[in-house]
Amino acid sequence: MSGARGRPRTRCLTIGSSDSGGGAGIQGDLKAFARAGVHGTSAVVGVTAQNTRGVTATASVATDMVGHQIEAVLEDIGTDGVKIGTTWSAELVWLLVDRLVWLDDVPVVLDPVMVSAAGSALGGDEDAVTAVREGLLPLTWVATPNLAEARRLTGLGEGTDPRKLAEAIVELGARAALVTDAFPTGAGDVLFDGERHHEITGPRRASGCDHGAGCAHSALLTAFLAQGMPLTRAARTAHAAVSLAIERGAADIGSGRHPVELHPVEPDREGPPW
Ligand SMILES: Nc1ncnc2c1ncn2[C@@H]1O[C@H](COP(=O)(O)OP(=O)(O)O)[C@@H](O)[C@H]1O
Ligand SMILES: Cc1ncc(COP(=O)(O)O)c(N)n1
């Protein structure tokens, strides 16, 4: 299969849950993959009844069905990148570990979703968090928690410097950690690449359109890494794209936290446009 310019098309798999409102979760990820020009595939691990005001019901998909979806995608289509979102149970997490440990040199981005932008709980119980810590982080190329998720993963307290949170996640086994929305003023992220810290800053947007911001960010990051972009440039470009997606979001959709809407953004430095 070839892309528009005759090169093989980049493929990315998202493992996460459905958002019936179409702004976040699997739906948001597939839109972000399409925006970045990669072929998106999915393994649905759960379903949420959700709109821009919150989540009203959730159901998980049987673990063996998750395994079947991943196998169906990998044995035929293959993948150049994997993004993981909602991880509802320890059983699901260990299934993912079992399947993903065989992937050779494929970037794995873990966005440990625990709370939606509107404040609804989407995370698993303590056993699931322990399994993420012990099983998934060691397979992860980049973890992209927000501050609250980083604290829950590391057990470190309120007020811990985001740089320390990122370092602690790398100590737990991830190759790199990107703590999102890490600054009390302005907006931006803190990236620890295992050796150095990088600050990714930009203006704070107040459009009210941030539903799906975290999902779009980690999905774009996955797509850029899968396309071979270096980590710091991928992180800066993903932040810039999502910042603009909040600023120019879908303000006409829903009456709560409106969805983000992705627009083309120039990569951080010289290189092929995405
Ligand atoms: N109000 C905002 N203005 C600009 N960028 C933002 C804003 N809120 C979040 N971002 C950016 O959106 C991306 C996703 O972050 P975040 O919203 O923390 O994810 P999550 O949905 O997982 O909490 C990050 O790059 C972050 O810096
Ligand atoms: C099914 C699902 N997965 C993830 C999120 C996180 O959304 P956000 O990107 O706004 O943090 C969500 N609201 N619903």
Please tell me if the CB atom of residue 262 comes closer than 6 angstroms to any atom of ligand 1: no
For ligand 1, the distance from its centroid to the CA atom of residue 239, given in whole angstroms, is 8
Task: Per-residue pLDDT tens, the chain, 274 aa: give them.
Answer: 445 556 789 999 999 999 999 999 999 999 999 999 999 999 999 999 999 999 999 999 999 999 999 999 999 999 999 999 999 999 999 999 999 999 989 999 999 987 666 666 787 889 999 999 999 999 999 999 999 999 999 999 999 999 999 999 999 999 999 999 998 888 899 999 999 999 999 999 999 999 999 999 999 999 999 999 999 999 999 999 999 999 999 999 999 999 999 997 766 554 444 4
Nearest ligand to residue 218 Cα: 1
Q: Determine whether the shortest distance from the Cβ of 241 to ligand 1 is under 6 A.
A: no
- Ligand 1 midpoint to CA 195 (Å): 24
Decide whether any atom of ligand 1 lies within 6 Å of the 168 Cβ.
no
Q: Which amino acid is at 88?
A: W
Residue nearest to atom 3 of ligand 2 (CA): 25
What is the per-residue pLDDT for 155? 95
Nearest atom in ligand 2 to 210's CA: 10
Per-state percent for the chain, helix, strand, coil, to nearest 5: 35, 25, 40
Sign (positive or negative) of CA dihedral 149, 216, 59, 101: negative
- Pairing between strand 11-19 and 81-84? parallel
Nearest atom of ligand 1 to the alpha carbon of 111: 22
Cβ neighbors of 195 (< 8 A, separation 6 or more) are none
CATH architecture of residue range(s) 11-247:
3-Layer(aba) Sandwich (3.40)
- Residue nearest atom 6 in ligand 2 by C-alpha distance: 116
* Cα–Cα nearest to 165, from 176, 179, 175: 179
For the chain, domain boundaries: 11-247
What whole-number distance in Å separates Cα of residue 3 and Cα of residue 226? 14
Confidence (pLDDT) at 1 = 44
Helix or strand (DSSP H, E) at 220: helix 213-226
pLDDT, residue 185, reads 82
pLDDT of residue 271: 46
Residues with CB under 6 A from ligand 2: 16-17, 19, 24-25, 48, 50, 85-86, 113, 116-117, 122, 211-215
Residues contacting residue 158 through CB under 8 Å, at least 6 positions apart:
151
